[in-house]
Structure 1
Amino acid sequence: MKVSELSRRSGVSVASIKYYLREGLLPAGQQTATNQADYGELHVRRLQLIRSLIDVGGLPISRVRATLAAVDDEATPMHDAFGAVMHGLDEVPADDRPDDVDAAFDEVQTWMASRKWHVAPNAPAPHRLAELIATLRRFDFPISMSYFDAISDFVEGVVEPEVEYARAMPDRTAAVETMLIGTVVIGQVIVEIRRLALEAVSYRSDGS
């Protein structure tokens, strides 16, 4: 297909496609003339993944490039390819953080070890969790790590079939895209369900 058809099929503008080609995010098509090339289904899928990383995941181009490198490298284990997506969704905070965040981070590390959760040292999530716990405590919420055990049991049960589903995809691109969409969208679903539950419990508390 020509670039115009690729644009129509993928929903990505011709200008963006040409930009992704220049940046090396999208492989070149089969050259048919000096200024023309043919593209195939793999290009459609690749553009869908790029747009998912940018539009759904909110990743900047630099992180999109790193994630795609993990997808393209067949020597990279699928777990590490998934990790490139997970870690690309956020940044590890700066080292100069408050003491209460440092203390909370140590608690998070101990808690993860007790759950036998292996998480890469460069993962942003433990740092963000520590920041959130420290913030709750500043507002006098009586939070300890054990408070999150039941929630974690539930979430672990949710993500197990999610990971299995992603790993069952026919290729690495589809697997990574599925993991990205699941992480962002199902994560937001859980947030919205919690909001609904808060309102419902508050209503019951009024004796209604």
Structure 2
Amino acid sequence: MRVSELSTRSAVPISSIKYYLREGLLHSGVRTATNQAEYGESHVRRLGLIRSMIEIGELPLARVRAVLAAVDDDTVTLHDAFGAVMHGLDDLPDAHDTDPDLAAAHHEVIAWMTDRHWHIDPAAPAHHRLAELITTMRRFGLPVSLTDFDAAADHAESAARGEVAYARAKDERAAAVESMIVGTVITERILLEIRRLSLESASFHLEHADTLSPFSRTGD
């Protein structure tokens, strides 16, 4: 297919395709003339992966390049390729040793993950971010504990097994990684919106508890 068809199939503008080619993020097509090349399904898939990282994951170009390098390197396990995606979705925060509350919270997070038998890369940003969030809640007077989130963690763990298994079943590494990016980011946003809806509904039912019928109070 020509670049115009590739653009249509991938929903990526021609200007962006040419930029990705110049940056080496997209492999070259088969040259058919001085200014023409033919592209195939591998280019469509690659552009889908790039698009998912930039538009869905909002990854900067340097992280996109790092993930693509992991995808292209067959010596990198699929787990490590997934790790490149997960770690690329956030920045590693500043060191915790200057903030005793934050350091203590991080120790709690590590202990909590250990109790759950979660094997997490020390370089992963997520457990550092979790410690930051717990510390912030406590500083606003909310006496939270990691165990308060056990039920949410149980649900997340169960769902994650299905998501990862689905991604790993893909025929191509690029498709597997794209599935992880889209599934992770979109699912997180879906859960956030569901929580916001549930909070508004709970507030409404508590506000009008005296006037609602017993059936209505259940939220059904």
**TM class by smaller structure:** over 0.9
1:127 is aligned to 128
Aligned residue runs from structure 1 range 154-169, under 5 A: 154-169=155-170
Cα RMSD (Å): 1.1
Whichever residue aligns with residue 204 of structure 1, its letter is: H
Deviations 1:97-156 (A, max 9, x none): 532111111110111011000011110000110110010000110101111111101111
Q: Where do 1:168-183 residues align within 5 Å?
A: 168-183=169-184
Moved more, 194-203 or 42-51: 194-203
Q: What SS is found at the alignment partner of 1:63?
A: helix
Q: Alpha-carbon deviation of 1:204?
A: 2.6
Structure 2 counterpart SS, 1:31: strand
Q: Which string of whole-angstrom CA distances, capped at 9 and with x for unpartnered residues, describes residues 164-206 of structure 1?
A: 1111111111110001111000111111111122122222323
Write out aligned runs for 1:60-75 (5 A): 60-75=60-75
Instruction: Provide the aligned length of Structure 1 versus Structure 2.
Output: 208
Partner of 1:53: 53
2:79 & 2:153 partners in 1: Cα distance?
A: 20
Moved segments of 4+, more than 3 Å:
none
Structure 1, unmatched stretches of 5+, are none
Calculate percent identity across the aligned residue pairs.
58
TM-score by length of 2: 0.91
Q: Does 1:114 align with 2:77?
A: no
C-alpha distance after superposition, 1:4-61 (max 9, x if no partner): 2111211111111111011110001111122221100110110111011000000011
Distance in 2, matches of 1:54 and 1:101, equals 31
Q: Distance in 1 between matches of 2:47 and 2:13?
A: 10
Q: Which consecutive residues of structure 2, in runs of 5 or more, have no partner in the other structure?
A: 213-220
1:1-208 matches, within 5 Å, as 1-95=1-95, 98-206=99-207, 207=209, 208=212
- TM-superposed CA distance for 1:95, in Å, is 1.7
**CA distance in structure 2 between the partners assigned to 1:142 and 1:35 by the alignment:** 65
Work out which of the two has the higher radius of gyration on C-alpha atoms and give 1 or 2. Answer: 2
